[in-house]
Amino acid sequence: MTPTYVLDGTQIRTLEDFWRVIGEAINGPGGYFGRNLDAFSDCLSGGFGTPDDAYAVEWRDHQVSREHLGHPETARQLEIRLSRCHPTNRPSVSADLAAAREGRGPTVFDWLVEIFDDRAPGVLRLL
């Protein structure tokens, strides 16, 4: 039987909430499953609490998360990224930030789903 990890979308209002919820779903209270996009991508590849062969992640009430992880949260995350990024990356991050503030471009929700699709195809079930 394939292990299934459940994310409660009603508990995900920020990217930081997502890190907590997925960490606890997979590795129990206080569990870790990435706390930035690169680490999350690595965790999906195995060895961080998931089986090496097959598993599923059910993101229940994902529409609630999609709303909360929309353009305002994306702009907030890009502001944080802009304050920490290398100077050569600032023009690109600034352009993404301007788009998010205008309600355009991919959102935090989109980033997460894309990482699931790229690193663990077929694992994510949006319910």
Dump pLDDT digits (tens) for 66-76.
999 999 999 99
Give the whole-angstrom CA distance, residue 30 versus residue 8. 16
Structural domain including 101 reads: 71-106
User: Domain check: are 61 and 42 in the same one?
Assistant: yes
What percentage of the chain has pLDDT greater than the value 90?
A: 90
Residue 54 reports pLDDT greater than 90: no
Domain total for the chain? 2
Q: What is the pLDDT of residues 16-43, one digit of tens each?
A: 999 999 999 999 999 999 999 999 999 9
The answer to whether the CB of 55 falls within 8 A of the CB of 27 is no
The answer to whether the CB of 6 falls within 8 A of the CB of 56 is no
User: Domain check: are 85 and 26 in the same one?
Assistant: no
Query: Residue 94's pLDDT band (boundaries 50, 70, 90)?
Result: very high
